[in-house]
């Protein structure tokens, strides 16, 4: 089997490595690696997909991934790459979030029979004694060096609390703990974690005299310079309750042309030959590649069935013929028959159904010609919609070019 390091490198996962040759060597045999995830929300979002995919590759290549939930460190707050301190969370929130995250990761990773592990660093960090920690761990860190770290430099401009300043030590301690208890010799993470990862390898060297490694991923931005996973509605979540498979699919199909090949490599498991072939398509043909990207990405996250549904719904809505809006994957809003019978102004319906956040927004949208009913443009913002507008028992609303909402009567 191909060495997973080469595979990760080829697919674009690698930004920095502590030592290319040694990491390659380490991964020749089954090894253990870890990535930390912050339990700051009850669901992960697309921004976490890159690290998740790297673990998927690791597991598929016979290695054992460890997912560390930063339950302990979340109580402190990581300053890396942020301009402001993070709000501190309660233990209950963190527990709750950790549960949701494990559920999601189970779609990507096999946690059975110890093939992948999930641990919470609160389990060992919470017990630490301050004096012991200072004496055993703190002595190995040079403040001068820490201050030189890029992640702290930024914060020195705006202010860095002592509590955050300790984050690096805690993360280093995590790595050491995992090394000690699970023989974990590789930590991966976003490039903003480089300093923290190095601190860990440094600590292991000092305490155990052994070499551990670090690898970071490129900080992903779309070609238009945006952070991954942001849309007008906010983050794109992996939880189908928060972002439906249809919306998830749409997110991927709407990617910039320039990102398609890169994303196929990172976010699907398609062989690289296929990735390159699809990436080479030009002009309108590239849409085929986007469809593959959207389908594969949705399949990984939500399963084949939902992915197919999303694909069909998309084709129906964006295909040649005006929509019959068949597929069950299109978001649906329910309204009482009686209420619709009385008639409801278009802009209010747009707001109620969730297509617009406020009535003012809906007014504007329709006034500017961006509101559609069953494929036809709505002329006046207060045009009354009632039972006569039903087609096959439902209404199809559209906001702008791409956002659809079915309104069903109940």
Q: Which is nearer to RNA, 357 or 391 (CB)?
A: 357
How far is residue 9's CA from residue 70's CA, in Å, rounded to a whole number? 27
Q: Which is nearer to RNA, 365 or 405 (CB)?
A: 365
Site pattern 186..225 for RNA (x: CB under 7 A): --------------------------------------x-
Does 351 engage in binding with RNA (CB under 7 A)? yes
Q: Which is nearer to RNA, 12 or 400 (CB)?
A: 400
Q: Which among 134-142, 179-187, 247-255, 298-306 is the span making contact with RNA, rule CB under 7 A?
A: 247-255
Does 283 engage in binding with RNA (CB under 7 A)? yes
User: Rounded to the nearest whole angstrom, what is the least distance from the CB of residue 164 to RNA in the complex?
Assistant: 11
Does 16 engage in binding with RNA (CB under 7 A)? no
User: Rounded to the nearest whole angstrom, what is the least distance from the CB of residue 91 to RNA in the complex?
Assistant: 24
According to CB under 7 A, which one of 111, 118, 257, 331 is a site residue for RNA? 257
How far is residue 341's CA from residue 336's CA, in Å, rounded to a whole number? 8
Does 277 engage in binding with RNA (CB under 7 A)? no
According to CB under 7 A, which one of 193, 250, 268, 298 is a site residue for RNA? 250
Instruction: Please give the distance of CA 335 from its chain centroid, rounded to a whole number.
Output: 33
Q: Which among 73-81, 190-198, 199-207, 351-359 is the span making contact with RNA, rule CB under 7 A?
A: 351-359
Does 87 engage in binding with RNA (CB under 7 A)? no
Residues in contact with RNA, counted by CB under 7 A, come to a total of 41
Does 314 engage in binding with RNA (CB under 7 A)? yes
Does 321 engage in binding with RNA (CB under 7 A)? no
**Residues of span 354-383 touching RNA by CB under 7 A:** 357-361, 363-365, 368-370
Q: Which is nearer to RNA, 30 or 225 (CB)?
A: 225
Does 399 engage in binding with RNA (CB under 7 A)? yes
Does 264 engage in binding with RNA (CB under 7 A)? no
User: Rounded to the nearest whole angstrom, what is the least distance from the CB of residue 296 to RNA in the complex?
Assistant: 15
In the block, which residue shows the tokens 């009354």?
A: 384
Q: Which is nearer to RNA, 10 or 322 (CB)?
A: 322
Does 254 engage in binding with RNA (CB under 7 A)? yes
Q: Which is nearer to RNA, 36 or 327 (CB)?
A: 327
Backbone φ and ψ of 382, nearest 5°: -105, 20
Which two three-digit tokens encode residue 301?
A: 């996250």
Q: Which among 53-61, 73-81, 96-104, 253-261 is the span making contact with RNA, rule CB under 7 A?
A: 253-261
In the block, which residue shows the tokens 């993360």?
A: 171
Q: What is the 3-state secondary structure (H, E, C) of the chain?
A: CCCHHHHHHHHCCCCEECCHHHHHHHCCCCCEEEEEECCCCCCCEHHHHHHHHHHHHHHHCCCEEEEEECCCHHHCCCCCCCCCCCCCCCHHHHHHHHHHHHHHHHHHCCCHHHCCEEEECHHHHCCCCHHHHHHHCHHHCCHHHHHHCHHHHHHHHHCCCHHHHCHHHHHHHHHHHHHHHHCCCEEEEEHHHHHHHHHHHHHHHHHHCCCCEEEEECCCECCCCCECCEECCEECECCCCCCCHHHHHHHHHCCCHHHHHHHHHHHCCCCHHHHHHHHCCCHHHHHHHHHHHHHHHHHHHHCHHHHHHHHHHHHHHHCCCCCCCCCCCCCEEEECHHHHHHCEEHHHHHHHCCCCCCHHHHHHHHHCCCEEECCEECCCCCCEECHHHCECCEEEEEECCCEEEEEEEC
According to CB under 7 A, which one of 28, 150, 226, 379 is a site residue for RNA? 226
Site pattern 34..53 for RNA (x: CB under 7 A): --------------------
Does 157 engage in binding with RNA (CB under 7 A)? yes
Does 403 engage in binding with RNA (CB under 7 A)? yes
What residues contact residue 251 under an 8 Å CB cut-off, 6+ apart?
46, 229, 231, 236, 243, 294
Does 315 engage in binding with RNA (CB under 7 A)? yes
User: Rounded to the nearest whole angstrom, what is the least distance from the CB of residue 3 to RNA in the complex?
Assistant: 34
Q: Which is nearer to RNA, 211 or 360 (CB)?
A: 360
What order of strands is seen across the sheet that includes strand 32-37? Answer: 16-17, 213-217, 186-190, 32-37, 64-69, 117-120
The residue ranges that bind RNA (CB under 7 A) are: 156-159, 224, 226, 231-232, 250, 253-257, 283-284, 286-287, 290, 314-315, 317-318, 348, 351, 357-361, 363-365, 368-370, 399-403
């Amino acid at each position: 089997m191909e060495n997973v390091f080469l595979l990760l490198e080829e697919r674009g996962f690698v930004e920095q490595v502590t030592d290319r040759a040694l990491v390659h060597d380490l991964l020749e045999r089954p090894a253990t690696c870890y990535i930390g995830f912050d339990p700051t929300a009850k669901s992960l979002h697309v921004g976490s997909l890159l690290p998740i995919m790297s673990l998927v590759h690791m597991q598929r290549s016979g290695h054992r991934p460890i997912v560390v939930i930063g339950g302990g460190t979340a109580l402190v707050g990581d300053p890396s790459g942020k301009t402001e301190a993070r709000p501190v969370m309660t233990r209950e929130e963190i527990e709750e979030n950790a549960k949701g995250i494990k559920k999601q990761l189970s779609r990507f990773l096999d946690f059975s029979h110890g093939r992948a592990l999930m641990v919470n660093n609160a389990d060992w960090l919470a017990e630490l004694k301050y004096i012991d920690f200072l004496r055993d761990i703190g002595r190995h860190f040079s403040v001068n060096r820490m201050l030189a770290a890029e992640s702290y430099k930024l914060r020195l401009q705006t202010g860095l609390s002592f509590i955050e300043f300790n984050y690096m030590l805690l993360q280093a301690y995590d790595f050491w703990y995992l090394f000690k208890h699970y023989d974990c010799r590789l930590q991966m993470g976003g490039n903003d974690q480089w300093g923290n990862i190095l601190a860990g390898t440094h600590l292991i060297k000092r305490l155990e005299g052994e070499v551990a490694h670090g690898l970071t991923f490129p900080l992903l931005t779309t070609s238009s310079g945006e952070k991954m996973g942001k849309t007008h509605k906010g983050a794109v979540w992996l939880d189908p309750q928060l972002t439906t498979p249809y919306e998830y699919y749409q997110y991927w199909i709407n990617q910039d042309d320039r990102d398609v090949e890169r994303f196929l490599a990172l976010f699907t498991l398609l062989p690289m030959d296929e990735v390159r072939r699809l990436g080479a398509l030009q002009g309108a043909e590239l849409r085929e590649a986007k469809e593959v990207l959207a389908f594969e990405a949705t399949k990984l996250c939500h399963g084949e069935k939902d992915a197919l549904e999303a694909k069909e719904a998309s084709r129906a809505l964006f295909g040649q013929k005006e929509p019959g809006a068949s597929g069950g994957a299109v978001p649906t809003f329910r309204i009482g028959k009686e209420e619709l019978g009385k008639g409801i102004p278009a802009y209010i319906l747009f707001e109620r159904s969730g297509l617009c956040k406020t009535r003012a927004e809906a007014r504007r949208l329709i006034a500017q010609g961006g509101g559609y009913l069953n494929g036809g443009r709505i002329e006046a913002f207060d045009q009354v919609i009632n039972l006569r507008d039903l087609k096959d028992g439902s209404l199809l609303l559209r906001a702008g070019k791409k956002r659809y909402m079915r309104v069903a009567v109940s």
